[in-house]
Structure 1
Amino acid sequence: MRTQETHPARPDVRLATARIASVDALRGFSLLGILVVNIAYLASGYRMAGMAEPAFGSSLDWGVRWFVTLFLENKFYLLFSFLFGYSFTLQVDSAGRRGRPFVPMFLRRLAGLFLLGLAHAVLLFPGDILTTYAAVGLALLIFRRVRPRTAVLLAIALTLLLALAFVLLALLATAGLDVSGRVADGQAQAAASNSALGGVFWQIVSEHLRKLSLIIVARVFFQGPAVLAACLIGLAVGKLGALRDVSAYTGTLRALQWTGFTVGLGGAVFYTASVWNGSVHKFWGEAVDLVTAPLLAAAYAATFLRVLPHVPRLARALAAPGRMALSNYLAQSLICSLIFTGYGLALVDRVSPPLEMLIALGIFVLQAGYSRWWLGGHRYGPVEWLLRFLTYWRRPKITR
């Protein structure tokens, strides 16, 4: 995903083609949050089924589950989606500046993204989001000429409609209808999922396909609109060029922090209680979270962008994995599959939540170091190079 900055009103070509380090760093920060959330679903069939692993019930285990659900879950994929929409505007500007037809190039890019996501979902992780981005990218093509204000209003409308849909599901569930859409029906089936994930290649792939068949409706009708809403906000920000000079928007960033860390965090507490406490139905929690999670994600981004200039070493450390985020996202699933499934160590459901978090942090630290080393001699990450080849339909130069 590119972060080349362009703006027709700026005559300085060097400024127009320079990467924005803060955007790369924010993408790296988002990648870390996504890994800490995803690793639990990669490590156990129980978590994918919406249940806690019965083998781990200590206070520390539950503390980690609550922490991840409260502060990370459903926040960082929204940040990543926001950046996908923002990068879309940069690609449009870049194509226009170079006199290239944008639509056919972007359609090839989406096709490549879809194929990568499909392979990722079948072989490594049914929770893949790349296929969703490929579908949402078609919607961005339709909305690419809308004004920033219109894009924001569309995002708000999508979010509210989606929240109302979950309110309806909550009411149907209260009436006794089964609308859970879970990938496992009870602990017995979750245990069977663990057994399959710890098996041979064809058992793992079959289990992934089974889960995909159960969650595809939720992915299309629920996650897709949420991702599109975040992308539309990114589209609006990209059109405004707001990330070129963050200091000019200090007031806006401060307002996002106040709103996100009050309303957003309050909604996150309600959602977390619905997931783990059972005091409220999960669909009510989802409805509240859909409205408030974007606010908390925005508060994270605003805080990150305000703090980043004061910690340049952290910025550089996060920018490298952010520049090759697609390669690192897929590599995270591959590494976790080698740890937890029959592809490698088959430690499925044998690792506690605190250890999962430590493993996630270790993987990201290794990726940050590797990314910095790789980009020292290469223009793009390995998968980014492949996607760029598919986009422009010619072999790009990869070495510096």
Structure 2
Amino acid sequence: MPNARLAAARIASVDALRGFALLGILVVNIAFLASGYRMAGMAEPAFQSPLDWTVRFTVTLLVENKFYLLFSFLFGYSFTLQVDSAERQGRPFGPMFLRRLAGLLLIGLAHAVLLFPGDILTTYAAVGLALLIFRKLRPKAAVVLAVMLTAMLALGFVLLALLATFGLDMGGTVADSAAEATKADTALAASALQIISEHLRKLSLIIVFRVLFQGPAVLAACLIGLAVGKLGAMRDLSAHTGTLRKLQWTGFTVGLAGAFVYTTSAWHGTMHKFWGEAVDLVTAPLLAAAYAATFLRLLPYMPRIARALAAPGRMALSNYLAQSLICSLIFTGYGLALVDRVSPPLEVLIALGVFVCQVFYSHWWLKRHRYGPVEWLLRFLTYWRKPGPSRPQQASHALGE
């Protein structure tokens, strides 16, 4: 019985960490859902007050590019839970996981086309194939591969920065044009057909970035999660207090310094952005790790917050999609069409309000159901049969098992 309670506590901490990551993702994504300019990498021209810039700077410094890495780490960690579960039940893991990835790909494609071209689910579907190939890697080898991927990505941005330094134009895309950003805003405020057409156009522009940069970065974070899962490091966090402290010291020094370099370069020319991206690729994982270490160390002293965050974390896939749907109803022609009419501070307040509502809704839903609605669908596609009724208190692991 004590072991069962310990296992339940471990699951709750992972779910709470996932809920925490989900909040950070919403705070970042809402800016891109609310403005064609932000999707183009530019500040909204209608909001230039000191408060607007303070919020932009703070979100970029502390949140941007940190929480999707944390979510990716949890995807890799949950992968190890799925492998262990399949082994305990005597099920062949490969075919089951491939069906799961196919379902995730279909859901991600629908999300990208209908709601948000910045969707990451399709990336997870592709990265999941790599995890399937690398699932027998030893933890040390997985960490080494993650470091190599990160270093290669950083060197890629260094190369782009050098090319920009020597005068090669690296900005010949729609994303670099204010006129095209205005055109995007017009489309997003129009009919459903025009919104979908705009999403498809954005997808055609960012596919190279996804393949060359986002995919490997997500895979690197997943490999760290794979290593942590194989080592069982999250089974008893009290036994790893020293490691967690080191992650905090490194992340809140080197990680924050790198985030400051990235933030100060984010609103300048292409060359500066590339240098900032190179630094951020190396240091953002450290800051994300510091966030996770701090959160997990404080969690035992914050049981109410842990319980509050665990529920949205258990149905993170449903909540992630719901966030895009709600924001689309606010900012696009699907609903109020307030694209580029909401200031950065108000965006953050809306994000916090939406997440609080999701906390209450998730608790209400999970009192009546074992899985979130989209988690239920994904589980059906994974096992190719209707999930049987079970006690709502039994935890599912969102994108994991």
Classify the TM-score, shorter chain: over 0.9
CA displacement 1:215-255 (0-9 Å, x = unmatched): 00000110000000000000000001111111110000000
Tell me if 1:145 matches 2:104. Answer: no
Q: Distance in 2 between matches of 1:343 and 1:258?
A: 45
Find the residue that maps to 1:179 and give its secondary structure: coil
Q: Which amino acid aligns with 1:232?
A: L
- Measured after TM superposition, the shift of residue 25 of structure 1 is 0.3
8 Å contact 1:258–1:299 — kept in the other structure? yes
Q: Which amino acid aligns with 1:320?
A: A
Paired position in structure 2 for 1:67: 58
8 Å contact 1:320–1:372 — kept in the other structure? yes
Q: Distance in 2 between matches of 1:303 and 1:14?
A: 23
Tell me if 1:43 matches 2:34. Answer: yes
Tell me if 1:97 matches 2:88. Answer: yes
Paired position in structure 1 for 2:322: 331
- Measured after TM superposition, the shift of residue 16 of structure 1 is 5.8
TM-score, length-scaled by structure 1: 0.95
Q: Which amino acid aligns with 2:72?
A: S
Q: Distance in 2 between matches of 1:136 and 1:339?
A: 31
- Measured after TM superposition, the shift of residue 209 of structure 1 is 0.5
- Measured after TM superposition, the shift of residue 214 of structure 1 is 0.4
Paired position in structure 1 for 2:195: 204
Q: How does 1:237-316 map to 2 (within 5 A)?
A: 237-278=228-269, 281-316=272-307
Aligned alpha-carbon RMSD (Å): 1.7
- Measured after TM superposition, the shift of residue 278 of structure 1 is 4.9
Quick one: structure 1 residues 99 and 16, their matched pair in 2 at CA, closer, same or farther if it must change by over 3 Å?
farther
Q: Distance in 2 between matches of 1:256 and 1:290?
A: 17
- Measured after TM superposition, the shift of residue 106 of structure 1 is 0.2
Q: Which amino acid aligns with 1:224?
A: G
Paired position in structure 2 for 1:318: 309
CA displacement 1:254-275 (0-9 Å, x = unmatched): 0000000000000000000110
Q: Distance in 2 between matches of 1:183 and 1:238?
A: 41
- Where in structure 2 are there 5+ consecutive unaligned residues? 392-401
Q: Distance in 2 between matches of 1:314 and 1:287?
A: 35
Q: Distance in 2 between matches of 1:176 and 1:214?
A: 22
Find the residue that maps to 1:157 and give its secondary structure: helix
Q: Distance in 2 between matches of 1:105 and 1:18?
A: 27
Q: Distance in 2 between matches of 1:199 and 1:106?
A: 39
- Measured after TM superposition, the shift of residue 18 of structure 1 is 7.3
Q: Which amino acid aligns with 1:123?
A: L
- Measured after TM superposition, the shift of residue 128 of structure 1 is 0.2
Q: Distance in 1 between matches of 2:30 and 2:21?
A: 14
8 Å contact 1:273–1:279 — kept in the other structure? no
Q: Distance in 1 between matches of 2:241 and 2:352?
A: 31
Find the residue that maps to 1:233 and give its secondary structure: helix
8 Å contact 1:377–1:399 — kept in the other structure? no
Tell me if 1:235 matches 2:226. Answer: yes
- Where in structure 1 are there 5+ consecutive unaligned residues? 1-9
CA displacement 1:176-199 (0-9 Å, x = unmatched): 223237543421111110000000
8 Å contact 2:170–2:270 — kept in the other structure? no
8 Å contact 2:171–2:270 — kept in the other structure? no
Q: Distance in 2 between matches of 1:259 and 1:366?
A: 34
8 Å contact 1:48–1:183 — kept in the other structure? no
Q: Distance in 1 between matches of 2:210 and 2:48?
A: 30
Q: Which amino acid aligns with 2:122?
A: T
- Measured after TM superposition, the shift of residue 13 of structure 1 is 6.7
Q: 1:391 aligns with which of 377, 382, 401?
A: 382
Q: Distance in 2 between matches of 1:304 and 1:355?
A: 26
CA displacement 1:116-142 (0-9 Å, x = unmatched): 000000000000000000000000001
CA displacement 1:272-311 (0-9 Å, x = unmatched): 0110255961000000000000000000000000011001
Paired position in structure 1 for 2:205: 214
Q: Distance in 1 between matches of 2:87 and 2:390?
A: 26
Q: Distance in 1 between matches of 2:60 and 2:312?
A: 24
Q: Distance in 2 between matches of 1:356 and 1:16?
A: 38
Find the residue that maps to 2:267 and give its secondary structure: helix
Q: How does 1:17-36 map to 2 (within 5 A)?
A: 20-36=11-27
8 Å contact 2:10–2:234 — kept in the other structure? no
Paired position in structure 2 for 1:375: 366
Paired position in structure 2 for 1:190: 181
Q: Distance in 2 between matches of 1:14 and 1:247?
A: 15
Q: How does 1:37-186 map to 2 (within 5 A)?
A: 37-180=28-171, 182-186=173-177
Q: Distance in 1 between matches of 2:308 and 2:262?
A: 32
Q: Which amino acid aligns with 2:356?
A: V
Q: Distance in 2 between matches of 1:180 and 1:398?
A: 53
Percent sequence identity over matched residues? Answer: 81
8 Å contact 1:308–1:315 — kept in the other structure? yes
Mean Cα deviation higher: 11-20 or 353-362: 11-20
Quick one: structure 1 residues 331 and 12, their matched pair in 2 at CA, closer, same or farther if it must change by over 3 Å?
same
TM-score, length-scaled by structure 2: 0.95
Paired position in structure 2 for 1:7: none
Q: Distance in 2 between matches of 1:355 and 1:175?
A: 40
Work out the number of aligned pairs and report it.
391
